[in-house]
Amino acid sequence: MNIKDVVNVNPNRMSGAPCFTGTRVPISHLFEILESGKVRKTAPCLGE
């Protein structure tokens, strides 16, 4: 798998923020969720 298959940067979409390909979900959102601990609370198996 190539990073370009997962991440898309388009200056005309989401102010050029890197997003998951095919979505308007910024990659930074994933890191915000991970840092907040919400993933461990809702899906503890992912923290193992």
The percentage of residues in the chain with a pLDDT greater than 70, rounded to a whole number, is: 92
Cβ neighbors of 47 (< 8 A, separation 6 or more) are 39, 40
Tell me the mean pLDDT in the region 14-19.
97
Over the chain, what is the mean pLDDT?
Answer: 88
Rounded Cα distance between 10 and 48, Å, is 34
pTM for the full model? Answer: 0.71
39 contacts 47 by C-beta, under 8 angstroms:
yes
Tokens of 10: 């388009």
Cβ neighbors of 5 (< 8 A, separation 6 or more) are 21
Tell whether the model's pLDDT for residue 48 goes beyond 80.
no
CA distance from start to end of the chain: 24
